[in-house]
Structures are given as structure tokens and as C-alpha cells.
Amino acid sequence: MTMARRRGALVTIARHPSVLATIVRCVPLCGILLLALIFSGCAQIGYYLQSVRGQLDIWHREKPIPEVIEDAASPPALRAKLTTVLAIREYASRELGLPENRSYRGYADLERPFVVWNVFATDEFSIQPKQWCFAVVGCVSYRGYFAKADAERFAAEITAAHADIYIGGVPAYSTLGWFADPVLNTFINNPPVALARLIFHELSHQVVYVKGDSEFNESFAVAVERAGVARWIVHHGSASDREAFDAMQLRRADFVRLIQTYRERLDTLFRSGATVDFMRAEKKKQYGEMFADYQNLKRAWGGFAGYDRWFAQPPNNALLASVAIYTQKVPAFEALLKAQDGDLVKFFAAVKTLARLSKAERDAALRAQMSSAATTGAL
């Protein structure tokens, strides 16, 4: 590159701060990518490259929220939503003890309904999800793709090895504090209660994250989001927010109960030692009944269709696995929070202590917490 071209490039960067910000943030991202490639070999190169491209695209589109609010060209509804987000973000750190940083202080419109699509897979007669292992985050029970077509392509590639596959769109994800996560168009139109829930959940991953234990991480974040939203409503919510939160909690409990019921039934079936033909036929029957039960739930909910996306594909073992990741240990974490008299700072410290244990020790400690709470009537 000639000196003149170098000067021209520097002038372009100086005139466009967002370009400079992207370059600065790319340095650690590229470092992580390099380490990932070194330790994972060639098989993962394509996957890591699409991850980097997707993250860079988000940063390229991101603008500070105050700038979007002040822009006369921004739709009034968007400006109002972002104003609410800033209030929720301040509450998250000031009142809940969640990290005080640049996360959820920027906004990016991705011009698509989801930020990533996660691929879950199980064997035909198992409810245990396959795990994939990566640098930094460890082993997780899914693979995320920034383009739906890439997720579908990967799903097609593994169909022979894993009979049950579920592809789920995700409105947000956490970079675990490595980078500042922005507010996205994929969830900005949610009601205030849902916005608070999502922001509290994702910030929780920056407090505690255990490599290779998705159930622990997600159940902890769900426990924090639920406690956080309940408190936020008391201080800043309206009567309609309270009603929306209560309805959301009831519907979620119904949905989780539905999934857990059929997960247990199918697990019993798969462990029964029955013939392949019998299990295949019974499995089909069980999923037919589960879908019918879901339709009954929708009617009881007055037609609420918020969980329809989980059934956009025919239900299977991978769907059950994807839900279980987020719900299995929530009661144990809520019991632990109650044991700390609802003090989130003490709760975070207790969870960090659990995070330092082995998985077997963590699971045993959470089971003991549940047993103790049940004995004392604290659940």
C-alpha cells in the first residue's frame, strides 16, 4: 500500500468512529479466533469464520442508543423502546448488582428476525443432546449460526449420525463479557417485562459462566431474570406489567411442565429395553399426544401463540433437549436464592463458589439445596 493510500485509509477511519470501534474490538476477537483455530484444527475453521463474520456485522451496524434516540429519522416507537431499555439497563446494575459496562447501551438493526439459529441434535432413542466443544466457551449442547441457511446446511450434514434435529431461532446471546452486547431489532419490540427479562438473563452470563455446563449456566440466568423482573416491576412497572409478568410466568410453567412430562415418558421408554420397532411407534404416538396437549394449552391461554416457534418443526427429542437446558435446575437456584434471604449479591457469591466445583459436586450441591428447601417448606 502506498503512503497516500495509507493516509486515505486513516482519514476514512477518523471520519467514521464506528469503523475505528469495529477495528479496536476486532483485535481481541481475532486473537480468540487464532487460539480457537490452533486448538481445534481445520475441521472447525469454517464454523469459527462464520462466527467472526456475524459478530463483525453486528458491530458494523451498531450505534449508541442515545444517538438513535436523538435521530429525528428514528421511528417514535423505537425511540420510546430504547428509552425504556436504558432505564432497565441502569436498574440492572444499580439494583440487581449485574455488571456495569457497555453491554445493552448500543443498538443494531440486523434486518432479520433472529440473531442466530441454534442446532440441537440427539440420537433417535435418547433425550440427551449432543455436545460440541469450542475454545473459550467449552462444550455446549448446540451450534449457533448467524445465517439460517448455514444452520440448515449443518443440520443436513449431521442427519445421518443424529436422527433427531431441532433448529431454533434465538433473539439474543451473550459474549460472556468479552465484548459489549448490543440491543437488537430481534427483541426490541417486546413488551417492557420481556425486555427486562432478556437483559437481566444475558447480563447474568457475565456474572457466572461454567465452561461445559449449559444447564447450570442457563438455569442460573433464568433464576436471576425471574427475580430481577419481579423486583423491577415493584419499582418501575405498572399494573399491566404485573399482569403481563404473572401471565408469562404461568404460561412458561405450563409449557415447561408439558415438556418435562413427555421428556420423562420418553426417557422411560428409551430405557425400557423394548424393540426398536415398538419404541419408534410409541415415540411417534407420544409426540402426537404432546402436540395435541399443546393445542389444548393454547386454548386455555386464550389463543396465546408465543410458543408456536418451538413447534415450527415436528416435535422430537432434540426439541425436548433444547428446552430442558434452560429449565432443569431453575428450582434449585431459586431455592439457593431464598436461602440467601433474596440477597442477589450473596446469591452471586454462592453460585460462584458452586462454579469452582466439579460438575458432579455442583449437581450434588444443587440437589442437596432442593432437598433442604423441600424439607423446610421453603419451596
pLDDT tens readout for residues 70-105: 999 999 999 999 999 999 999 999 999 999 999 999
339, 258, 252: which is closest to 294 by C-alpha? 258
Which DSSP state fits 67? H
DSSP string, 204-221: HHHH---TT-HHHHHHHH
Q: Which amino acid is at 41?
A: G
C-alpha cell at 306: 408465543
248 by DSSP, 3-state: which? helix
136 by DSSP, 3-state: which? coil
Rounded to the nearest 5°, which phi and psi values hold at 242?
A: -60, -45
Q: Which amino acid is at 345?
A: V
pLDDT for position 327: 84
C-alpha cell at 266: 420418553
Contacts (Cβ under 8 Å, ≥6 apart) of 279? 125, 269, 270, 272
CA distance linking residue 237 with residue 343, whole number of Å: 21
- CA 65, 67, 73, 76 torsion: positive or negative? positive
86 and 196 Cβ atoms separated by less than 8 Å: no
Contacts (Cβ under 8 Å, ≥6 apart) of 80? none
CA distance linking residue 365 with residue 344, whole number of Å: 19
pLDDT for position 371: 80
Burial class (CB in 10 A: 0-12, 13-18, 19+), 43: exposed
pLDDT for position 87: 97
Q: What is the mean pLDDT of each run of 10 residues along the chain (379 residues)?
A: 42 41 48 44 74 94 98 97 98 98 98 96 94 82 95 92 90 93 97 96 97 93 97 92 92 94 96 97 97 96 93 91 87 95 97 97 93 63
Neighbouring C-beta atoms of residue 196, cutoff 10 Å: 29
Contacts (Cβ under 8 Å, ≥6 apart) of 157? none
pLDDT for position 134: 81
Burial class (CB in 10 A: 0-12, 13-18, 19+), 149: exposed
pLDDT for position 358: 96
What pTM value is reported for the model? 0.85
CA distance linking residue 20 with residue 14, whole number of Å: 7
pLDDT for position 373: 66
170, 128, 127: which is closest to 309 by C-alpha? 170
293 by DSSP, 3-state: which? helix
Contacts (Cβ under 8 Å, ≥6 apart) of 111? 185
Contacts (Cβ under 8 Å, ≥6 apart) of 190? 198
H-assigned helices in the chain? 3-15, 17-40, 45-61, 65-70, 76-94, 148-158, 192-207, 214-236, 239-270, 276-300, 317-327, 330-339, 344-355, 359-376
Q: Which amino acid is at 336?
A: L
Q: pLDDT tens digits, residue range 143-192?
A: 999 999 999 999 999 988 778 999 999 999 999 999 999 999 999 999 99
C-alpha cell at 262: 413427555
pLDDT for position 135: 72
